[in-house]
Amino acid sequence: MLRLALLLLLVLAALPARAQSPIYHCIAADGHPVFTDQPCAALQATPAPASSAAAEAPSLRPPAVTCAADVDQLRGAVIDAFANADANRLAGLMLWGGYGEHAVVSDIGALAALMRRPLVGIDLPPDGSGSELVVSTVPDEGSTESGETRFAIEPRAGCLWLRQE
């Protein structure tokens, strides 16, 4: 009886593995996606192209700096954020403590607008103090602004952070 029970358990354990069949992703003649257990040709459909995300090569860029150890590293991280037009990347270099929710939303909106303008340069004060970073961009057409955005540089927890002035 015990042998029969063990044999029955082995047979039952093997059934789910045998029951699984591949899932085919096809495009029907009318253009709609179809997921089936039959090959696409059996449905007179064409196989769906591989996802572009799966086909992309992994990024060869080094990971973004999230804790700038010195002013040059912080400046490079800001340049990287502009090169990728990534306002969230720039926001990640900033200290946000003491801001209210509405102020943060407003400031991130301003960072997004800043990222849409071409970068001209990123400068440190001429006195070499490293107390602020001046981001120069091409001003919006018809704007009376100078195109300069100043960020205070604050050390905190072994990193340098930006704070909007």
User: How many other C-beta atoms can be found within 10 angstroms of the C-beta atom of residue 101?
Assistant: 7
The sign of the dihedral angle between the CA atoms of 115, 116, 119, 124 is negative
Confidence grade of residue 96 (pLDDT, cut at 50, 70, 90): confident
Fill in the DSSP letter of residue 92.
T
Mean pLDDT along residues 44-55: 72
154 to 94, 130, 148: CA distances (angstroms) = 9, 9, 19
Confidence grade of residue 18 (pLDDT, cut at 50, 70, 90): low
Give 127-136 pLDDT, tens digit per residue.
767 789 999 9
How far does the chain reach from its first CA to its final CA, in angstroms?
82
pLDDT score, position 14:
61
Is residue 55 scored above 60 in pLDDT? Answer: no
Cβ 76 vs Cβ 65: under 8 Å: yes
Q: What angle do CA 83, 63, 132 make, to 5 degrees?
A: 55
- Residue 153 CA to residue 161 CA, distance in Å, equals 6
Question: Is this model's pTM higher than 0.85 or not?
Answer: no
Of 9-18, 69-78, 89-98, the range with the highest mean pLDDT is 69-78
